[in-house]
Amino acid sequence: MSEKIDALLKLIEVPETNKSTPIKDSEARFIYEFVKEKKIGKTVETGCGYGKSAVSIMAATGKPHIVIDPFQRNYNYGGTENIKKAGFGALLNFQEDFSHTVLPLLASKNEKFDFVFIDGNHRFDGIFVDFYYTDFLLEQGGYFMFHDTWMHSTQLVISFIKKNRPDYKVIDSPLRNIFIFQKAGTDTRDGMYHRGFYTMKSWLTHHLIIWLTEGDETFLKKSVNKLKGLYTGIKPK
């Protein structure tokens, strides 16, 4: 089943200087298989980058897909070009604007989606706002995925949803850097409802990964990275 996506991934070009921007091939394959297996139809994503997630989603649905990104010019439109090269130009609905502008517009038109991929602004407030509008856009039973769950910001939004939104169900993800929720009920919180969601663990993992991926390769770093690879199978971006 993965041959189709593997062939498409080979067409995606990413400049040497930007190798850390795209999702990994294993993540692209997972998204493709997930979207296909769940028979997902209407899709939207925030953060185009070099178009890898968009290609994975469109390859799985064969249907129109909205991609929101205000900064494609900073990537020389490499993402939209890769999407066209993969043969999905006609299905692409590219919105060259901020997700905080486009998502509310979609919500105001009462548009509904089965799947949202969130990989745009990676600051806490940016991710939170993407989630906030995703909530209005998702069909009952629909899914959304966060990428870059190693980041403290993403972990805090995940923790907020787990603690404050019992109407969202956590779906097991085999990949450490992708987190999945399914809309599985209605929001019945009263106006005073609030559960604290700050986690120290996410702060620690964030800073540990930054320490492991940046700066000098010391003996200690090499050893910790080796252990991490052995025990978790995750490699930092």
State the Cα–Cα distance between residues 76 and 69, nearest whole angstrom: 13
Coil, helix or strand for 235?
coil
Residue of closest CB approach to ligand SAM: 49
3-class SS at 43?
Answer: strand
Which residue, 63 or 222, is less far from ligand SAM as judged by CB?
63
149: its two tokens: 């769950």
User: Minimum CB separation from ligand SAM for residue 226, in Å?
Assistant: 27
CB-CB neighbours of 170 under 10 Å: 13
Distance from the Cα of residue 57 to its chain's centroid? 12
Nearer to ligand SAM, 68 or 156 (CB): 68
Q: Smaller CB distance to ligand SAM: residue 114 or 119?
A: 119
Whole-angstrom Cα distance, residue 40 to residue 118?
A: 16
Residue 95 CB, nearest distance to ligand SAM (Å)?
9
CB of residue 137 to ligand SAM, shortest distance in Å: 15
- Give the interface with ligand SAM as residue ranges (CB under 6 A): 21-23, 46-50, 52-53, 68-71, 98-99, 119-121, 126
Q: C-beta of 209: minimal distance to ligand SAM in Å?
A: 15
Instruction: For residue 158, give the nearest of 206, 103, 114 by alpha carbon.
Output: 206
Q: Closer CB to ligand SAM, residue 126 or residue 142? A: 126
